[in-house]
Structure 1
């Protein structure tokens, strides 16, 4: 049986640094103490959301577009960029137009960026690489596995590589490439709600959405504090910490909004990337809207 207590929806949280400002904002407002927050990589969160383990969660754009019949789009919040994103790259040892017939390693941790990278390489650059899905690994420092000429890299590993690119490797920011090609922002992830939960508990969904958008606003108002907190977070688990200046630059690049331009960009991505995502991508349609106020709570 679905429970609808206020702000007790089971919320997903991407454990990468791209969501550190939202974690900071939720803590600052006190909402983090009320919500049941589950932190994990995006693919794990998507599985939990689709299986009913979570009610609301950020998921990759591809995951949302594949499952739009079962999910609603939470208004007003996303993860994207209007230009460089700093943490979603194609990394190569040569020009992208030299990749025709060569191996490009696709991160198994990524859905949206791998589909975006394939679309950019094939339609914008005009090459036809050979793709190989591999676990994301930067053990050699480059992010490019042995036998590959290039690789798709996302998340904190990609951000670290952007901040300190190794010699002989070129970092191609997919957000910048998409903006140059289409003139649109890129949306990499959205917050989605299980449709059954949205229909049963619309007030709980709206309150969770308000808490998340408030968290973004709080983080935007305190950029130095957020960058310092994220720098401390970046060193956990034995990882090399990132400096506050790198993270301040990163959060200036990220766009957490979901307005008309972002919705247009989602439509454009769904059309252009449809053949590269493994299964069909459903364009946005009216049913993505949340139920009207007054539902059962």
Structure 2
């Protein structure tokens, strides 16, 4: 059996899986590579990986060569806590302002563009560069978008005398009334076709690993407390906000996101959702 090359995004929103892969044997038979979303997205697209968790928008742009691993995603219904817009002015006053985007993600870029244009009729100028959570909005900008662990830090360290804070998951819920699927696990079609046994093994390890890690959430959190600027309670609450199951309802919600992205010219065509042939 070929050993699948798997990209893993070591963000706290998949801490249960990180724990299972690294500490509980669920990484056996897998060639694991860690990185931020932008790196894993690029490595999958350029065939340096066989499968990876990827930003949802990446699948939309490459649905002709990728398949979605069933019943696995990163989603939240409303508040997500780890995609935060920090602004010097209220969101409804933003128009042609300068907004800095973190270089770490792709879905969040599309996400914030849709919300600001469709919900607030704003047309900001976007720039991508490094953002520090300790000083989230550069002096030359009106607002900045942070994601992942940096955003979660900002969520828990708000300076409301200087900035306004917007949880973009909640903004999406207000705008659409729907849950948001931020990431999926995708696999190359060729790999899936030529390595059915390895594909089944990979999906089983990921699917069961997520559930095992969540069932042992306390132990998973304990592995990062010494290296992360969060309390046990903060991480425990966060892992109740994030959900990982991908049902028909959430696939439908994903298509709503793609519809807006297509209408705004952010993706070249409407993708088709195709699932990898595995047994759950």
Q: TM-score, normalised by structure 2?
A: 0.92
Which runs of structure 2 are paired with 1:123-272 in the superposition (5 Å)? 123-129=118-124, 131-138=125-132, 141-167=134-160, 168-234=162-228, 241-272=229-260
Aligned to 1:119: 114
What displacement does 1:231 show?
2.2
CA RMSD of aligned residues (A): 1.9
SS of the residue 2:95 aligns to: coil
**Residue 81 of structure 1: which of 76, 81, 102 is its match?**
76
Is 1:290 aligned to 2:253, yes or no? Answer: no
Detail structure 1 runs of 4+ shifted over 6 Å in the superposition: none
How has the CA–CA distance of structure 1 residues 126 and 205 changed in structure 2, closer, same or farther, with 3 Å as cutoff? Answer: same
Where structure 2 has 5 or more consecutive residues not aligned to the other structure, the ranges are none
Q: TM-score, normalised by structure 1?
A: 0.87
Alpha-carbon separation, structure 2, partners of 1:9 and 1:30: 15
How has the CA–CA distance of structure 1 residues 18 and 232 changed in structure 2, closer, same or farther, with 3 Å as cutoff? Answer: farther
**Residue 15 of structure 1: which of 2, 10, 17 is its match?**
10
User: Which digits, 9 at most, give the CA deviation of each residue in 1:199-220, with x for residues without a partner?
Assistant: 1112211221111111111122
User: Which digits, 9 at most, give the CA deviation of each residue in 1:193-246, with x for residues without a partner?
Assistant: 011101111221122111111111112212222222232342xxxxxx222111
**How many matched pairs?**
278
Alpha-carbon separation, structure 2, partners of 1:279 and 1:161: 30
SS of the residue 1:116 aligns to: helix
SS of the residue 2:226 aligns to: helix
**Residue 38 of structure 1: which of 18, 33, 36 is its match?**
33
Where structure 1 has 5 or more consecutive residues not aligned to the other structure, the ranges are 235-240
Aligned to 1:238: none
What displacement does 1:106 show?
2.1
